[in-house]
Amino acid sequence: MSLIVVGSMAYDAIETPFGKMDWIVGGAATYAAYAASNFIKPINQVSIVGYDFAQEEMDELRKRGVNLEGVEVVGDKKSFFWSGRYHLDMNTRDTLVTDLNVLADFNPIIPDSYQGSEFLMLGNVLPSLQISVVQQLKTRPKLIAMDTMNFWMDNALPDLKKLLTMVDVLLVNDSEARQLSGQFSLVKAAKEIQKMGPKYLVIKKGEHGALLFHGDKVFFAPALPLEEVFDPTGAGDTFAGGFIGHIAQTRDISFENMKTAIIVGSAMASFCVEKFGPTRLKEIRKTDIDERIRQFIDLVNFDIQLV
């Protein structure tokens, strides 16, 4: 029972209508690992960081069962840095700075100790690197999930298309699903994308929830209506971490269980946005998660008698 998480570990500078944070840990794989660590150990992390990545952060991750053998530390370069400013609606943001730094040299090597991992979450990096990870695994994982972004659709589409034939689950947001499929209707987009490879498609719609498509089946989970969305950074990666974490914990890759995984992912994302960066993810415990999942049940549960 183990999970490989591939992706960036970074530092961010974030500005929201509620405040400003000049230097806080970030990166897709960081958020995914913090979220997934509530459900499964070990998490076999694959990433690259610079000399500036804090030892305390590494220790914190290790304490939660995150194996860092696959995280390359580059002694003479800085970690990937991203800076962004959110608009008042919190759904849109401007990227102010993207300093790739070590990420420009990322060439993931899967340690021997990671071989045999049953689950794989490919965070958003260059599609050729995602392909390389899959190809390095001697036994195909039970389930491979991947994230990507519009930038790769514009700049690395052939590799992305090849990768899509190798994975089981694609997680993207609504505009990415539209761009990839060329379809505006998300129902039509889901059909097109399933033809490209992944038999399961998760479309993340931020504050408007998430959809899971599989064949003709569809499942919807809302986002929890919150009084305050403090910082949406990492919410999608946290969702992915909760999603794959629940599946890895239960070792059940049925559509029914994936529905539950979507709820777990939504619950984790609802914590993420409550404080800057991954701060809130480090505070919560199992009782908090269970309570939050109960709120989701109350939010959508209804009884109806068809007579």
Contact residues toward a copy of itself (CB under 8 A) are 88-89, 184-188, 205, 208-209, 211, 217-222, 225-229, 256, 259-260, 262-263, 290, 293-294, 297-300, 302-304, 306
Nearer Cβ to a copy of itself (140/217): 217
**Which residue type, as a one-letter code, is found at position 245?**
G
305 C-beta neighbours (distance < 10 Å), count: 4
Nearer Cβ to a copy of itself (23/219): 219
Place of tokens 């999942």: 293
Nearer Cβ to a copy of itself (23/220): 220
Nearer Cβ to a copy of itself (52/290): 290
Nearer Cβ to a copy of itself (20/208): 208
Give the whole-angstrom CA distance, residue 17 versus residue 269: 19
Nearer Cβ to a copy of itself (88/165): 88
> Any bridge partners for residue 244, and if so which?
none
Nearer Cβ to a copy of itself (50/245): 245
Q: Are 137 and 115 in contact (CB under 8 A)?
A: yes
Phi (first) and psi of residue 95, to 5 degrees: -85, 125
**β-sheet with 19-26: strand ranges across:** 19-26, 10-16, 80-86, 93-99
Nearer Cβ to a copy of itself (56/303): 303
